């Protein structure tokens, strides 16, 4: 007896299945590194300025990218021109981060920076030397080794550390 084909669920409108779902097996591209059987879902250029790509797993992509030089084979003028052209696009907006949404204020400090200053007990107009001094003083006072019987000392210490990291990163961005 001949097998009679069944009707597909995909005819007409509306589709009876979600888009992107199919009955066939999904093709999986394996990592291009010899002997690796993980999925290769991270494309990497085979050579500078070449459209051909390797497809590595995350581990081998990280190993490949560790020694990658984006400007290899370009003169200093060509590298500067490429960097200038890329800064004109969406990547150029990274420099204007101060236009991002924030809370009230004059725009010199972000909301995270103001919270960090509050955690250190400082005013919004405190300079970085005052931040460093408050961080050292509070870190010494709240260190878990100094206060072994205080269960909240570790939480206060971590808060002070996180606040200092936020403010230090902001100071580094301003200095750059």
- Cβ–Cβ under 8 Å, residues 157 and 139: yes
Beta bridge partners of 88: none
Q: Work out the average pLDDT over 105-123.
A: 82
Distance CA 3, CA 71 (A): 61
What is residue 102's predicted lDDT score, i.e. its pLDDT?
A: 47
- Cβ–Cβ under 8 Å, residues 132 and 154: no
Q: pLDDT for 21-79, tens place per residue?
A: 666 667 788 999 889 999 988 888 887 677 888 899 999 888 888 877 777 788 999 98
For residues 130 and 103, which has the higher predicted lDDT (pLDDT)?
Answer: 130
For residues 108 and 78, which has the higher predicted lDDT (pLDDT)?
Answer: 78
Cβ neighbours of residue 154 closer than 8 Å, sequence gap 6 or more = 144
Cβ neighbours of residue 119 closer than 8 Å, sequence gap 6 or more = 159, 160, 162, 163
What is residue 111's predicted lDDT score, i.e. its pLDDT?
A: 83
Tell me, rounded to whole angstroms, the distance of Cα 164 from its chain centroid. Answer: 20
Q: pLDDT for 131-176, tens place per residue?
A: 999 999 999 998 988 888 888 888 899 999 999 999 999 888 887 7
What is residue 97's predicted lDDT score, i.e. its pLDDT?
A: 57
- Kindly report the number of other CB atoms within 10 A of residue 140's CB atom: 11
The pTM score is 0.42
């Amino acid at each position: 007896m001949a097998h009679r084909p069944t009707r597909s669920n995909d005819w007409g409108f509306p589709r009876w299945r979600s888009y992107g779902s199919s009955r066939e097996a999904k093709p999986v591209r394996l990592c291009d590194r010899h002997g690796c059987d993980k999925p290769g879902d991270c494309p990497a250029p085979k050579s500078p300025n070449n459209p051909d790509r390797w497809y590595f797993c995350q581990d081998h992509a990280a190993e490949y990218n560790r020694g990658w030089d984006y400007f290899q084979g370009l003169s200093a003028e060509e590298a500067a021109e490429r960097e200038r052209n890329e800064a004109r696009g969406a990547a150029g907006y990274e420099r204007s981060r101060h236009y991002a949404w924030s809370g009230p204020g004059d725009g010199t400090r972000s909301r995270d920076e103001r919270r960090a200053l509050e955690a250190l007990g400082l005013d919004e107009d405190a300079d970085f030397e005052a931040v460093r001094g408050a961080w050292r003083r509070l870190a010494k006072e709240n260190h878990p080794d100094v206060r072994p019987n205080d269960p909240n000392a570790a939480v206060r210490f971590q808060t002070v550390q996180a606040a200092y990291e936020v403010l230090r990163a902001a100071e580094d961005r301003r200095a750059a």
